[in-house]
Structure 1
Amino acid sequence: MTFNDQVIEEFRHGKGGMSEGWKLILLTTTGAKSGKRRTNPLGYLEIDGMTVVVASNMGAPAHPGWYHNIRRDHRVTVETRSETYEAIAAVPPAAERDALFAKIVAEEPGFAEYQAKTTRELPVVILHRIDERVRGLGDFLVEVHKWLREELKSLRAGVDDVVAGRADALIMEKSLKAHCVSFCEALSKHHAGEDMGAFPMLAQRFPALAPVLAKLGEDHVVVAATQKRIRDLVEGYVHGESDPVRLRDEFDDLAGTLEAHFAYEERTIVTALNVTAPG
C-alpha cells in the first residue's frame, strides 16, 4: 500500500493516522491518458467562500498528475470527511490566481516555501460544487436559446404563409423581412458575445473545454453563412417571381443546424457557465 493509499484508507474510515491534523479532501479525477479514475488526498483552503487547492507537488519541478487530468477533463469528485459531491475544477486567470495565491500564503506559509523551491508557477485551482439549485450564466444561455427557437419557429410559420399565399402577400412579405432582420441581428449579436466573451473566458478557466469551444465557434461560422443566404433571399424576395420553396428549405436548414448547435452547447458548457461569476 502506497502512502497515498494509506491516507485515503484512513480518511474514508474516519481514522487519524497519517492524516491527523491535516485539512484534507480527496479529489478524484479522470486520467488524461488512461481515462481511469484517480484519487488523491489534497490539502485545501476556503478562500472567499471558494474551495481552493494548489498544484504544489511539494515544490517539485513538474505539475502533479491530477493537475494534468483536470486540464483534460474538468469534472471531478470531492470527498470531505462529511460528504461527497461533484464539482468542476477551474483554473483562474493570472490576476485572479495571483490574488488567491497571496491569500493562500497568508493562511498557509508553507506554499510560499514550495514556490521558492521551483521555477514553475504553482497553479491554483478552484473547485466549484455543481448545484442544480443555483441559476447562473448557463441558465441564462438556455433562456436565450429558448427565445431564439421560438422566434425562428414564428419566422418559419411566416414563410409557410407566403408559400401558401395566405393573407395579403405584400403585407406578409414586408412583415417577414422586418422579422427576419431583427432575428438575424439578435442571433449574430448572441454568437458574437459568445465568441468574444464567454468562450475565451471558459477556455482560460476550463482548458478541457478547448475542443468543445472550437467546435461551437465553427458552428457559428456555418450558422452565419446560412443566415446570410436567408437574409439575401428574404430581402430580394419578389412575390410571383422568387421561389418561396427555396426560402422555406433554407429556413429548415437553419433550424436544423441551430437546434443541433444549441443542444450540443447546452450539454457541454451550461454547467461551467453556471459556476462562473459574470464579469
Structure 2
Amino acid sequence: MTFNDQVIEEFRQGKSGMLEGWRLILLTTTGAKTGQRRTNPLGYLEIDGKTVVVASNMGAPAHPGWYHNIRRDHRVTIETETETYEAIASIPPAAERDALFAKIVAEEPGFAEYQAKTTRKLPVVILHRIDDRVRGMGDFLVEVHEWLREELRTLRAGVEDIVAGRADALVMEKSLKAHCVSFCEALTKHHTGEDMGAFPLLAQRFPALAPTLTKLGEDHVVVAATQKRIRDLVEGYVHGEGDPARLRDEFDALAGKLEAHFAYEERSVVAALNVTVTG
C-alpha cells in the first residue's frame, strides 16, 4: 500500500493517522494521459469563502500529477469528512493568484518554504462546488439563447406566412425586414460579447476548455456567414420577385446551426461561467 493509499483509507475510516492536524480533502481527478480516475489527499484552506488548494508538490521542481489532470479536465470530485460533492477547478489569473497565495502563506507559512525550494511559481487552484441553486452568467447565457431561439421561430413563422399567402404580403415583408435586422444585430452582439469577454475569461481560468472554446468560436464564424446570407436575402426581397421558399430554407439552415451551437455551448460552459461569476 502506498503512502497516499494509506492516507485515503484512514481518511475514509474517520482516522487522522499520519497527517493529524492537517485540514484534508480527497480530490479525485481524471488522468490527463490515462483517462482513469485518480484520488489524492490534499491539505486545503478556506480563503475569502473559497476552497483553495496549492499544487506545491512539497516544493519539488515539477507540478503534481493532479494539477496536470485539472488542466485537461476541470471536473473533479471532493470528499470531506462529512460529504462528497462534484466541483470544478479553476486557475485564477496572476494577480488574483498572488493575492491568494499571500493569504495562504499568512495562514500556513509552510507553503512559503515550499515556494523557496523551487523556481516554479506554485499554482493556486480554487475548487468551486457545482450548486444548481446558484445563478450566474451561465444561466444568463441560457436565457439569452432562449430569447434568440424564440425570435428565430417568430421570423421563420413570418416567412412561412409569406410562402403560404396567409397575410398581406407587403405588410409582412416590411415587418420581416425590421425584425430580421433587430435579430441579426442581437445575435452578432451576443457572439461578439462571448468572443471578446466570456471566452477569454474562461480560457484563462479553465485551460481544459481550450478546445471547446476554439470550436465555439469557429461556430460563430459559420453562423455569421449564414446570418449574412439571410439578411442580404431579406433586405433584397421584393414581393412578387423574390423567392420566399429559398428564404425559408436559409432560415431553417440557420436554425439548425444555431440549435446545435447553443446546445453544445450550454453543455460545455454553463457550469464554468456560473462559478466564475459567483466565485
**What secondary structure, in the 3-state scheme, does the structure 1 residue paired with 2:276 have?**
coil
Superposition map of 1:176-195 within 5 A: 176-195=176-195
- Per the alignment, residue 24 of structure 1 pairs with 24
TM-score, L = length of structure 1: 0.98
- Per the alignment, residue 261 of structure 2 pairs with 261
Q: Which runs of 4+ in 1 moved over 4 A?
A: none
- Per the alignment, residue 89 of structure 1 pairs with 89
- Per the alignment, residue 146 of structure 2 pairs with 146
Output one character per residue of 1:229-277: Cα deviation in whole Å (capped at 9) or x when no partner.
0000000001111111110000000000000000001111111111111
The gaps in structure 2 that reach 5 residues or longer are: none
**2 CA distance for matches of 1:94 and 1:195?**
21
**1 CA distance for matches of 2:215 and 2:65?**
27
- Per the alignment, residue 61 of structure 2 pairs with 61
The gaps in structure 1 that reach 5 residues or longer are: none
Say yes or no: does 1:242 pair with 2:217.
Answer: no
- Per the alignment, residue 129 of structure 1 pairs with 129
User: Match for 1:224: what amino acid?
Assistant: A
User: CA contact under 8 A between 1:10 and 1:19: conserved in structure 2?
Assistant: no
State the 1:278 CA deviation: 6.9
State the 1:137 CA deviation: 0.9
- Per the alignment, residue 105 of structure 1 pairs with 105
User: Match for 1:38: what amino acid?
Assistant: R
**What secondary structure, in the 3-state scheme, does the structure 2 residue paired with 1:134 have?**
coil
**What secondary structure, in the 3-state scheme, does the structure 2 residue paired with 1:120 have?**
coil
**2 CA distance for matches of 1:278 and 1:183?**
30
**What secondary structure, in the 3-state scheme, does the structure 2 residue paired with 1:266 have?**
helix
State the 1:171 CA deviation: 1.2
Superposition map of 1:217-232 within 5 A: 217-232=217-232
Output one character per residue of 1:99-145: Cα deviation in whole Å (capped at 9) or x when no partner.
10111111111111111111101000000000111111111111111
**2 CA distance for matches of 1:214 and 1:17?**
46
State the 1:170 CA deviation: 1.4
- Per the alignment, residue 40 of structure 1 pairs with 40
The change in CA–CA distance for 1:278 and 1:159 in structure 2 (over 3 A counts) is farther
**1 CA distance for matches of 2:59 and 2:145?**
46
User: CA contact under 8 A between 1:11 and 1:19: conserved in structure 2?
Assistant: no
**2 CA distance for matches of 1:136 and 1:20?**
38
User: CA contact under 8 A between 1:203 and 1:209: conserved in structure 2?
Assistant: yes
**What secondary structure, in the 3-state scheme, does the structure 2 residue paired with 1:32 have?**
coil
**1 CA distance for matches of 2:132 and 2:23?**
27
Cα RMSD (Å): 1.0
User: Match for 2:175: what amino acid?
Assistant: S
User: Match for 1:201: what amino acid?
Assistant: L
TM-score, L = length of structure 2: 0.98
Output one character per residue of 1:167-192: Cα deviation in whole Å (capped at 9) or x when no partner.
22211111000000000000000000
User: CA contact under 8 A between 1:88 and 1:129: conserved in structure 2?
Assistant: yes
**1 CA distance for matches of 2:42 and 2:49?**
18
User: Match for 1:161: what amino acid?
Assistant: D
Q: In percent, how many aligned pairs have the same letter?
A: 87
The change in CA–CA distance for 1:179 and 1:278 in structure 2 (over 3 A counts) is farther
**What secondary structure, in the 3-state scheme, does the structure 2 residue paired with 1:46 have?**
strand
State the 1:19 CA deviation: 2.1
State the 1:202 CA deviation: 0.5
**2 CA distance for matches of 1:228 and 1:15?**
64
- Per the alignment, residue 202 of structure 1 pairs with 202
Say yes or no: does 1:270 pair with 2:270.
Answer: yes
